Structure 1
Amino acid sequence: MILHAGLIARPGPDGWRGILIEGPSGAGKSDLALRCLDHGFRLVADDRVVTWVSGGQLFGRAPDVLAGQMEIRGLGIRPVSARPLAPIRLWIRLSAPERLPDLETVTHLGVEIPLWTLAGLENSAPAKLSHVLDSLG
């Protein structure tokens, strides 16, 4: 299944951990992904994410035509170093978050994933993503 989203990943103690970033067009998905590249993350997919389940785990990758490319608003489509795929461990929804949110989940292709709402254009958003990812164990 193809989602209108972005996917970034960072290495963890158990291998690469992917973060799927969803939100409406213009919400800052690519902007957040670009800023995360300076915080130890790698791009997997920008704008479209092909998702599938293997061994009970959700994975994502870029469609072949978009692999290794990122739209950087104001600069155009640029090549970037990208991972070929990543297991999706966290689902981010770009929107105004609650101050003290309860843990939420989303189920996609039968796999339950932690869901977190984030204001993606905040300067602290990449650091917040790192903290949430670290809290997953």
Structure 2
Amino acid sequence: MIVHAGLIAAFFSGGWRGVLILGESGAGKSDLALRCLDQGFRLVADDRTLVWACEGVLYGRAPDSLAGLMEVRGLGVLPAPTLGYCRIGLAVRCGPMERMPEPTAENYVGLSIPALSLAPLESSAPAKLRRALQHLGAGPEGAYQDALAAGVSPRPGGDSR
């Protein structure tokens, strides 16, 4: 399944953990990804992401025609170092965010992962995204456990094993 979203990943103990960045055209997806790359994230896919499930886990990569490329508004399409694929642990929708959001999830190819909204152009957006990925997309600890207690079941696909 191809999703209109970017995919970036951060390295945590246990490996690379990815976040799908979703939003309308011009919402700031690539801008957020670009700033995250400067904060140690790695690009997996820009604009379109091929997602699939394997053994109850959600993965993503760039379609072959877009691999290693990133569109930077005002500069064009540029080469970028990328990861070939990664496990997806979180979905972030670019748009207005609530101060204390309720836990939500997104479903792809029959799997559910934690999701949230994030104002992509805020200077703190990359730091918020890293912390969300660390906690919501991490596994059975921390805020992820709170989501389960609230009745949102991001498993399978979004937690670490």
TM-score interval, smaller chain: over 0.9
Name the SS of the counterpart of 1:39 in structure 2. coil
Aligned to 1:124: 124
Residue in 1 that maps onto 2:81: 81
**Matches of 1:134 and 1:112 in 2, distance apart?**
17
TM score, norm. by length of structure 2? 0.83
Across the two proteins, how many residue pairs are aligned to each other?
137
Q: Distance in 2 between matches of 1:135 and 1:66?
A: 30
Q: Distance in 2 between matches of 1:14 and 1:106?
A: 23
How far is 1:55 from its partner? 1.0
1:98 aligns with 2:84: no
Residue of structure 1 equivalent to 2:30: 30
2:158 matched to which residue of 1? none
- CA–CA separation in structure 1 for the residues paired with 2:101 and 2:15: 27
What is the rounded CA distance, in whole Å, between the counterparts of 1:105 and 1:51 in structure 2? 16
Per-residue Cα deviation, 1:69-126 (whole angstroms, up to 9, x for no partner): 0000000000010000011000001110111111111121111100011011111100
**Segments ≥4 residues shifted beyond 4 Å:** none
Identity between Structure 1 and Structure 2 (%): 56
The Cα shift of 1:133 comes to 1.5
Q: Secondary structure at the match of 1:105?
A: strand
Paired letter, 2:135: S
Post-superposition Cα deviations, 1:7-39, rounded to whole Å, max 9, x if no partner, equal: 000111121100000000000111100000011
Larger radius of gyration: 2
Q: Distance in 2 between matches of 1:118 and 1:25?
A: 15
2:64 aligns to what? 64
**Aligned residue identity for 2:133:** L
Instruction: Give the whole-Å Cα distance in 2 for the aligned partners of 1:60 and 1:36.
Output: 18
Provide structure 1 residue ranges, at least 5 long, that are not aligned to the other structure: none
Q: Which residue in the other structure is 2:150 paired with?
A: none
CA-atom RMSD in angstroms:
0.8
Query: Mean alpha-carbon deviation: is it higher for 55-64 or for 127-136?
Result: 127-136
CA distance in 1, matches of 2:111, 2:11: 21
- Segments of structure 2 that go 5 or more residues without pairing to the other structure are 139-161
